[in-house]
């Protein structure tokens, strides 16, 4: 904690010193020079190649006849150019002139105008701390090796001299952009020890914080652990790459042990630590439901792994977004599928009528798929829900009683809205009773997971289980998103049992959050970035593919969750989650009474 | 308590002997302390305000337990269940009947009180372990009821969302006073107690009322009767105290306090279900009471603050511990909370069975008697 | 009501009552010798099962006996080691936590065991982690035994139903499935109970424990070292808890919630009578039976489907409803001594 906190406070002070402190511009020469824009076109024509021959011999005589720039060092070129007076002053103040005269570097050189655009006094305060903040900021503009603009546009990010800090690179129609805010206005100025690209914005090493909390040691720890590991790995991978437009992501986590009380306390702590939280991540349905009105009041978008319909669409919600269809819609899609394919999937000896037993946990999550809308939909499809049974949300739960009651009620389909060990309890119960063959077992997305196997007394019991599947799976190695996640998973040497749905989903969630924040930066800029801006960016996402098609979201028109999923079936051993039906729209079972953000 | 005073400081009248606040400077200190609490949101961090708010809510429940267990000697493991009753009651009164929170709160206390009476009935015939078991039954049956009965109203295991307390004022001279904001839909001024720094005003005010009530209880005939039931029930009965009636009253009061605390908790969380407060909280509250000091006025305050502060410290320290011992990552919070609470309780039971309140009086006495040992 | 499931639920209930009875016995044992009601018994159960799992796991005995053929030996050794651990734990608890409480009021002693339960829970998580464990399956689950009854399920059934064990299922007759794992853990639980009973009836140590339970001072007067008896009863209770923990864990897996099982045993103890060993057994089996029977109501239940569902979901409160009834009608339980003061 202390280490992280110190790092955080260091970054904060850096930013503070860098941006907020006030005073008057100290670098006197700047204003006197002629306005830059008129001179701007010149250097683009200047680049060396044509004038090349003269170079080596004349190098020592800098003042007279225009020297061939490519024989001059980066610092010398900058010094000769009157657009970089602040930069040159800064480099000499920080004592980096020597360092930048040797080796091979790419320097992104902000113009004096760029420095002037910083809040008043920033440059002063930077100069006041040459060994610290100033050096950091300057190093953040330098990349090892000579990278020409043509090569740079193929990159997504580049590591800078500032340790563990990268800049993002985006090639857009109107030019090359760094960290989403600085445009390269003059590229490829050759120097003896590298290349200079002129940019119109000073790059600042930023840090954003992602807040999340979940159950790492309570009753659902086994299920939450992959979620949180996936989240941490995704953030670490992002930080090693382009971050959020170059900003490093910091993490705040609290273990709430499935207690809503602890979740609210964590929320209070986070909101008092920071005034402008960009995004929070929740895992439990209960947490999401309890906090939904706070997210809305405090204008903090919440990316939720729990897919409760109340949390997404309840009258007091509106700021909660999900990665997969809400549970009633998953249930609806499952019903659609079995009704259409009953002859193919029905258990041996079952009649034509589908009689469903809903056997699940007595929790907000366990009962999440049964809403008035989904009940009505089942009735409309002619599926009779003949029994609703409960069992305890522990791996040690006894389900035989529930199963026998379902059997006595004439059920031939069992549906459960549980996590990993939930379906395992039911399948084990069926196995113990020797009744596996009499039921088609279906479950929501979380239930079809490798973790399910950890709790099965016999892996064969799982064969035939059908579930809605709103994302791709680890075995879909053709997909670049899956390839990326698998590569990160391997890099961090995670144990195989973490190769679960939770890891994939939160990995995608981090990607989704980064996309949304980058969109928000495009819309309002880094300086005005806040939760509301991220929220607005999220609500503008239509048919967006997360992590190259790992899953798809569309949050326009008041939608807060995806409405498509595959149907998959377990066939054979672990990981054999075979696609029965490709991505198709779920029935619309959003609650009748939904939020109204009005305004 | 009187023994703890130095020579020369003696009472000249009965009123003086019974006084809760004995001297003017004590009253002054108390007022300053209260003022400091009320203005907490102005100078303290949100985290601290939120923590003080939670501590305040739990103090109320522990005060109730103090009446039942501390004064009357009836051990209860059902306090959390009565909090659940209070939470549901006031949430439903507000949502279904449109009551104001400030009416629903005392009503929730009363409703919980009557449920408490019901589970106090076995105290007619049993005590000791048997009574613990009867209250444990409440801890099972009430949450079961919340999960299974009246599902349209109680929403089963999912629980219900609870409204934020608010009050309305009419618009006076085109302005909204008392920090309220104008709400166009109703044309009135609205104040919502939505953040901890707003909610804490309710908690503190209720806490002052319950504390005064509890402090006065021990000075009345009723309070003395309860103590006599605890110390020797047969002797108490011989003195004409109707044991059953007094025990039931103690159960009732304890549950009223629990109901009020539960209502505050539910509205603060904006959510309640059958698991929000559970058996572990009942055990925790008994522990708080013992740590603070059974049957003392200040015990519930000291004990609750101590236990919750230690818990908060564990939460804060866990990441540091994980840095030191990387092996415990992922289990640290779950392990340390019960471990530290359990060990603290064991140590208190062995070395400080009279709790922090007793230590406090010893410290005060030592301060007054300085430089003498006695 | 699902009458055809009556034999099923009754038998399953009684069988699951076996481990409850064993757990209740551990509670009674401690109460008899030292008048302490041990709220930490659930955690002793948990630690016993966790220790067994750990000794069995690849990081302990698994290193010595990795082969599958050595499963039985490895498991037996793991159980023995876990039993030794629990004996040690029992002795430690008695010596460090409860000996200092001698002569303290009831409330303090109750709180001490509650505090112990919390501390032990934390200790378990710290030592063994919070995640679910795959406990070695002792009683291999194969097909359940099938019993058919001489009753017809519905009027339409044409075959004449006979009582048969393992026979072919006759259409329309009532069939009961008997889970093997439940049956065997019931057998082991009852065997342990009988063993203990013999210990108390016929061994010197058992007799001295009974004497201590009867009257501390008299026992001391005839030369029984009652401190040793206290220690011994905690040690035995630890062993019983471990066996109970293993039986439950092997039937349904091992995780932290195992300690909650003991909450069903508390009422069993009171139902039987706090100090009665046969009471604990009968109490445990009765609680199991009632827990099984509440699953009977179906949608034709006379109070309607919603009430039927509520009743079916009442497994965990059944013991406590019984408890309240017992407390109001017969506070000393079925077999308890009439020692309670009337007030």
Of residues A386 and B336, more confidence is placed in A386
CA A206 to chain centre: 17
A518: Cβ contacts below 8 Å, ≥ 6 apart: A180, A244, A245
Q: B134 and C97 in contact by Cβ < 8 A?
A: no
Pairing verdict, β A166-172 and B271-272: unpaired
Of residues B281 and A42, more confidence is placed in B281
pLDDT at A5: 46
Question: Do A518 and A180 touch, CB atoms closer than 8 A?
Answer: yes
Question: Do C269 and C284 touch, CB atoms closer than 8 A?
Answer: no
Give pLDDT tens digits for A457-510: 788 888 899 999 999 998 899 999 999 999 999 998 888 878 888 889 999 999
pLDDT at B133: 86
Of residues A54 and A517, more confidence is placed in A517
Chain C residues inside the 8 Å CB shell of A405 = 2, 5, 295, 298, 312
Q: Which of residues 243-302 of A touch C (CB under 8 A)?
A: none
**DSSP conformation class of A478:** T
- Strand segments, DSSP code E, in A215-256 are 248-255
The mean pLDDT value for A79-83 works out to: 86
A362 close to C (CB below 8 A)? yes
Question: Do A176 and A149 touch, CB atoms closer than 8 A?
Answer: yes
Question: Do C239 and C292 touch, CB atoms closer than 8 A?
Answer: no
Which among C114, C123, C317 has the least Cβ separation from residue B283?
C114
Burial class of C139 by CB neighbour count within 10 A (0 to 12, 13 to 18, 19+) = middle
C107 close to B (CB below 8 A)? yes
Most confident of the following: B80-89, B306-315, B321-330: B80-89
What is the Cα Rg of chain B in Å? Answer: 22
Asked whether the predicted pLDDT for residue B304 surpasses 90, the reply is yes
pLDDT at B4: 60
C299 close to A (CB below 8 A)? yes
Give pLDDT tens digits for B26-68: 788 889 999 998 988 888 888 889 999 999 999 999 999 999 9
Confidence category of residue B9, pLDDT binned at 50, 70, 90: low
Confidence category of residue A416, pLDDT binned at 50, 70, 90: very high
Q: A221 and C130 in contact by Cβ < 8 A?
A: yes
Pairing verdict, β A302-304 and A280-282: parallel
Asked whether the predicted pLDDT for residue B322 surpasses 80, the reply is no
Helix B221-231 with B196-217: angle, nearest 10 deg: 80
Query: What's the mean pLDDT when you consider all of chain B?
Result: 85
Chain B's closest residue to C115, CA to CA, is: B342
Chain C's closest residue to B238, CA to CA, is: C343
C143 sits in the region (left: phi over 0; alpha: psi -120 to 50; else beta) called beta
Q: Which of residues 15-34 of C touch A (CB under 8 A)?
A: 16
- Strand segments, DSSP code E, in A480-561 are 544-546, 551-553
Confidence category of residue A15, pLDDT binned at 50, 70, 90: very low
Residue recorded with tokens 């809400």? A326
**Which two tokens mark A365?**
């999550």
Element (H, E) at A142: strand A142-144
Chain C's closest residue to A402, CA to CA, is: C295
CA A65 to chain centre: 54
Which among C101, C120, C316 has the least Cβ separation from residue B349?
C101
Return d(Cα A374, Cα A354) in angstroms, integer: 16
Chain A residues inside the 8 Å CB shell of B319 = 1, 4
Q: A271 and B46 in contact by Cβ < 8 A?
A: yes
Q: A409 and C299 in contact by Cβ < 8 A?
A: yes
Q: A362 and B157 in contact by Cβ < 8 A?
A: yes
The mean pLDDT value for A227-233 works out to: 88
In 3D, which of C114, C118, C96, C94 has the Cα closest to residue C106? C114
Return d(Cα B218, Cα A3) in angstroms, integer: 50
Helix B129-148 with C262-272: angle, nearest 10 deg: 130
**DSSP conformation class of C144:** P
Give pLDDT tens digits for A252-293: 888 887 788 888 888 988 988 888 899 999 988 788 888 998
The residue of B118, B329, B335 whose CB has the most chain C CBs within 10 angstroms, and thus the best one to mutate to test that interface, is: B335
Q: B271 and A286 in contact by Cβ < 8 A?
A: yes
Residues in chain C: 343
pLDDT at C341: 52
Query: What's the mean pLDDT when you consider all of chain A?
Result: 82
pLDDT at A409: 85
Which among C106, C126, C316 has the least Cβ separation from residue B140?
C316
Asked whether the predicted pLDDT for residue A7 surpasses 70, the reply is no
**DSSP conformation class of A568:** E
Confidence category of residue A29, pLDDT binned at 50, 70, 90: very low
The residue of C59, C320, C322, C328 whose CB has the most chain B CBs within 10 angstroms, and thus the best one to mutate to test that interface, is: C320
Question: Do B56 and B203 touch, CB atoms closer than 8 A?
Answer: yes
Q: A394 and C255 in contact by Cβ < 8 A?
A: yes
Which among A395, A408, A457 has the least Cβ separation from residue C255?
A395
| β-bridge mates for residue A172, sequence order | A175
Low-confidence ranges of chain C (pLDDT < 70): 1, 131-132, 140-142, 152-162, 166-172, 337-343
C205 close to B (CB below 8 A)? no
pTM for the model stands at 0.85
Question: Do B70 and B299 touch, CB atoms closer than 8 A?
Answer: yes
Q: A310 and B161 in contact by Cβ < 8 A?
A: yes
Q: Give the rounded percent of residues in chain A with a pLDDT score beyond 70.
A: 86
Residue recorded with tokens 């293993």? C246
Whole-number Cα distances in Å, A479 to A285, A474, A484, A490: 29, 9, 9, 16
The mean pLDDT value for A46-69 works out to: 42
ipTM of the complex: 0.86
pLDDT at A38: 34
3-state secondary structure chain B: CHHHCCCCCCCCCHHHHHCCCCCHHHHHHHHHHHHHHHCHHHHCCHHHHHHHHHHHHHHHHHHHHHHHHHHCCCCCCCHHHHHHHHHHHHHHHHHHHCCCHHHHHHHHHHHHHHHHHHHHHHHHCCCCHHHHHHHHHHHHHHHHHHHHCCHHHHCHHHCEECCCCEEEECCECCECCCCCEEECCCCEEEEECCCHHHHHHHHHHHHHHHHHHHHHHCCCHHHHHHHHHHHCHHHHHHCCCCHHHHHHHHHHHHHHHHHHHHHHHHHHHCEECCCCCCHHHHHHHHHHHHHHCCCCCCHHHHHHHHHHHHHHHHHHHHHHHHHHCHHHCCCHHHHHHHHHHHHHHHHHHHHCCCHHHHHHHHHHHHHHHCCCCC
Chain A residues inside the 8 Å CB shell of C46 = none
Confidence category of residue A49, pLDDT binned at 50, 70, 90: very low
Neighbors of chain A with 3 or more C-beta pairs under 8 Å:
B, C
Return d(Cα A483, Cα A474) in angstroms, integer: 8
Most confident of the following: A294-298, A314-318, B182-186: A294-298
Which among A392, A404, A454 has the least Cβ separation from residue C5?
A404
- List the end-to-end C-alpha distance of chain B, in Å, as a whole number: 15
Q: C114 and B345 in contact by Cβ < 8 A?
A: yes
C108 close to B (CB below 8 A)? yes
Helix B196-217 with B24-38: angle, nearest 10 deg: 150
Confidence category of residue A234, pLDDT binned at 50, 70, 90: very high
B164 close to A (CB below 8 A)? yes
pLDDT at A187: 83
CA angle A385, A309, A363 (to 5 degrees): 65
Question: Do B254 and B76 touch, CB atoms closer than 8 A?
Answer: yes
Which among A221, A455, A457 has the least Cβ separation from residue C137?
A457
Residue recorded with tokens 């004038």? A51
- From the CA of C12, how many Å to the nearest CA of chain A? 9
Confidence category of residue A2, pLDDT binned at 50, 70, 90: very low
Confidence category of residue A69, pLDDT binned at 50, 70, 90: low
Q: Helical H runs in A342-419?
A: 342-345, 372-381, 400-408
Chain A residues inside the 8 Å CB shell of C254 = 396
Q: C253 and A434 in contact by Cβ < 8 A?
A: no
The residue of C255, C260, C316 whose CB has the most chain A CBs within 10 angstroms, and thus the best one to mutate to test that interface, is: C255
Q: Is the N-terminal amide bond of B371 cis, ω within 30° of 0? A: yes
Asked whether the predicted pLDDT for residue A20 surpasses 60, the reply is no
């Amino acid at each position: 904690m202390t280490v992280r906190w110190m790092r955080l406070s260091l970054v904060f002070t850096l930013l503070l010193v860098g941006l907020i402190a006030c005073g008057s511009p100290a670098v006197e020469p700047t204003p006197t020079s002629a306005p830059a824009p008129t001179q701007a076109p010149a250097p683009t024509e200047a680049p060396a190649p044509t004038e090349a021959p003269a170079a080596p011999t004349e190098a020592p005589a800098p003042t007279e006849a225009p020297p061939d720039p490519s024989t001059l060092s980066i610092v010398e070129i900058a010094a000769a150019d009157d657009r970089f007076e602040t930069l040159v002053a800064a480099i000499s103040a920080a004592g980096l002139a020597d360092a930048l005269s040797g080796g091979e570097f790419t320097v992104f050189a902000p113009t004096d105008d760029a420095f002037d655009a910083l809040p008043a006094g920033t440059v002063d305060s930077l100069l006041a701390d040459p060994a610290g903040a100033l050096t950091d900021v300057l190093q953040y503009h330098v990349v090892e090796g000579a990278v020409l603009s043509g090569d740079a546009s193929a990159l997504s990010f580049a590591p800078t001299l500032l340790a563990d800090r990268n800049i993002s690179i985006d090639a857009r129609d109107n030019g090359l952009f760094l960290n989403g805010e600085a445009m390269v206005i003059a590229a490829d100025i050759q120097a003896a020890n590298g290349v200079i690209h002129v940019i119109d914005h000073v790059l600042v090493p930023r840090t954003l914080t992602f807040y999340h909390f979940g159950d790492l040691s309570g009753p659902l720890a086994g299920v939450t652990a992959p979620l949180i590991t996936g989240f941490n790995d995704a953030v670490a991978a992002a930080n090693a790459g382009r971050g959020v437009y170059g900003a490093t992501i910091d993490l705040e986590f609290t273990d709430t042990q499935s207690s809503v009380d602890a979740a609210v306390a964590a929320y209070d702590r986070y909101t008092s630590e920071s005034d402008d939280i960009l995004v929070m991540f929740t895992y439990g349905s209960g947490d999401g439901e309890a906090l939904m009105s706070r997210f809305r009041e405090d204008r903090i978008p919440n990316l939720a792994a729990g897919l409760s319909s109340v949390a997404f669409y309840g009258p007091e919600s509106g700021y909660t977004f999900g990665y997969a269809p809400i549970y009633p819609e998953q249930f609806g899609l499952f019903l659609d599928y079995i009704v259409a394919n009953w002859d193919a999937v029905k258990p041996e000896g079952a009649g034509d009528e589908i009689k469903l037993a809903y056997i699940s946990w007595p929790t907000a999550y366990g009962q999440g798929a049964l809403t008035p809308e989904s009940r009505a939909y089942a009735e409309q499809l002619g599926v009779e829900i003949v029994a609703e049974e409960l069992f305890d949300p522990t791996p040690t739960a006894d389900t035989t009683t529930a199963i026998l009651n379902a059997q006595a009620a004439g059920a031939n389909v069992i549906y459960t809205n549980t996590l990993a060990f939930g379906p395992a309890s039911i399948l084990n119960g069926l196995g113990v009773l020797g009744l596996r063959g009499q039921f088609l077992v279906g479950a929501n997305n979380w239930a079809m997971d490798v973790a399910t196997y950890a709790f099965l007394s016999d892996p064969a019991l799982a064969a035939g289980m059908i579930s809605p599947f709103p994302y791709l799976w680890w075995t879909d190695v053709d997909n670049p998103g899956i390839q990326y996640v698998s590569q990160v998973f391997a890099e961090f040497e995670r144990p195989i049992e973490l190769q679960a749905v939770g890891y994939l989903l939160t990995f995608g969630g981090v990607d989704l959050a980064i996309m949304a924040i980058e969109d928000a930066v495009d819309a309002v800029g880094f300086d005005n970035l806040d939760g509301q801006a991220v929220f607005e960016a999220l609500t503008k996402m239509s048919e967006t593919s997360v992590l190259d098609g790992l899953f798809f979201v569309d949050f326009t028109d008041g939608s807060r969750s995806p409405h498509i999923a595959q149907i998959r079936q377990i066939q054979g051993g672990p990981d054999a989650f075979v696609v029965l039906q490709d991505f198709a729209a779920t029935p619309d079972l959003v609650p009748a009474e939904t939020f109204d953000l009005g305004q | 308590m009187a023994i703890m005073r130095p020579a020369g400081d003696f009472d000249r009248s009965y009123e003086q002997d019974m006084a809760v606040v004995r001297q003017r400077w004590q009253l002054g200190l108390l007022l300053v302390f209260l003022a400091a609490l009320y203005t907490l949101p102005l100078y303290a961090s949100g985290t601290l305000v939120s923590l003080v708010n939670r501590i305040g809510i739990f103090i109320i429940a522990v005060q109730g337990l103090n009446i039942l267990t501390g004064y009357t000697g009836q051990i209860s493991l059902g306090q959390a269940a009565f909090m659940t009753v209070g939470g549901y009651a006031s949430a439903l009164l507000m949502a279904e009947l449109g009551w104001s929170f400030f009416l629903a709160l005392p009503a929730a206390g009363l409703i919980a009180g009557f449920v408490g009476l019901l589970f106090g009935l076995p105290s007619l015939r049993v005590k000791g372990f048997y009574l613990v078991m009867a209250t444990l039954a409440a801890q099972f049956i009430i949450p079961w009821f919340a999960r299974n009965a009246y599902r349209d109203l109680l929403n089963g295991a999912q629980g219900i969302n609870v409204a934020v307390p608010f009050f309305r004022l009419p618009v006076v001279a085109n302005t909204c006073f008392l920090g309220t904001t104008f709400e166009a839909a109703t044309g009135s001024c609205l104040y919502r107690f939505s953040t901890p720094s707003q909610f804490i005003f309710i908690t503190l005010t209720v806490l002052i009322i319950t504390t005064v009530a509890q402090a006065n209880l021990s000075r009345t005939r009723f309070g003395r009767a309860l103590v006599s039931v605890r110390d020797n029930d047969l002797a108490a009965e011989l003195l004409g105290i109707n044991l059953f009636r007094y025990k039931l009253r103690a159960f009732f009061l304890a549950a009223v306090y629990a109901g009020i605390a539960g209502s505050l908790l539910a509205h603060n969380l904006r959510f309640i279900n059958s698991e929000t407060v559970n058996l572990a909280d009942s055990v925790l509250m008994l522990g708080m009471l013992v740590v603070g000091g059974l049957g003392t006025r200040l015990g519930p305050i000291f004990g609750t603050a101590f236990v919750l502060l230690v818990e908060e410290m564990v939460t804060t320290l866990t990441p540091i511990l994980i840095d030191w011992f990387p092996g415990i990552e992922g289990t640290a919070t779950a392990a340390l909370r019960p471990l530290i609470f359990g060990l603290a309780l064991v140590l208190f039971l062995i070395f400080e069975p009279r709790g922090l309140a007793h230590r406090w009086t010893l410290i005060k006495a030592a301060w007054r008697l300085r430089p003498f040992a006695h | 009501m699902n009458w055809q499931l009556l034999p099923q639920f009754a038998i399953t209930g009684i069988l699951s009552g076996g481990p409850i009875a064993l757990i209740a016995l551990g509670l009674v044992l401690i109460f008899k010798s030292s008048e302490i009601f041990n709220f930490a018994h659930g955690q002793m159960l948990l630690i016993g099962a966790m220790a067994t799992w750990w000794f069995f796991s690849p990081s302990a005995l698994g290193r010595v006996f990795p082969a599958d053929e050595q499963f039985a030996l490895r498991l037996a050794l793991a159980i023995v080691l876990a039993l030794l651990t629990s004996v040690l734990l029992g002795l430690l608890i008695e010596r460090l936590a409860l000996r200092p409480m001698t002569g303290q009021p009831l409330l303090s002693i109750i709180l001490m065991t509650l505090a112990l339960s919390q501390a032990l829970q934390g200790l378990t998580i710290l030592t063994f982690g919070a995640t679910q464990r795959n406990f070695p399956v002792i009683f291999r689950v194969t097909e359940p035994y099938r019993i058919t009854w001489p009753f017809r399920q519905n009027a339409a059934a044409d075959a004449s139903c006979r009582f048969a064990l393992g026979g072919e299922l006759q259409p329309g007759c009532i069939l009961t499935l008997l889970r093997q794992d439940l049956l065997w853990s019931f057998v082991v639980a009852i065997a342990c109970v009988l063993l203990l009973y013999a210990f108390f009836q016929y061994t010197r140590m058992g007799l001295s424990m009974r004497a201590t339970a009867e009257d501390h001072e008299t026992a001391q007067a005839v030369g029984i070292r009652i401190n040793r008896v206290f220690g011994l009863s905690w040690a035995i209770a630890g062993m019983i808890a471990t066996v109970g923990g293993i039986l439950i864990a092997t039937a349904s897996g091992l995780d932290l919630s195992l300690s909650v099982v003991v909450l069903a045993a508390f009422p069993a103890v009171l139902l039987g009578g706090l100090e009665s060993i046969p009471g604990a057994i009968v109490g445990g089996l009765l609680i199991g039976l009632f827990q099984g029977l509440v699953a009977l109501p179906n949608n034709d239940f006379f109070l309607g489907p919603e009430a039927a569902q509520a009743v079916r979901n009442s497994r965990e409160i059944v013991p406590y409803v019984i408890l309240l009834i017992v407390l109001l009608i017969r506070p000393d339980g079925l077999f308890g001594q009439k020692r309670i003061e009337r007030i």
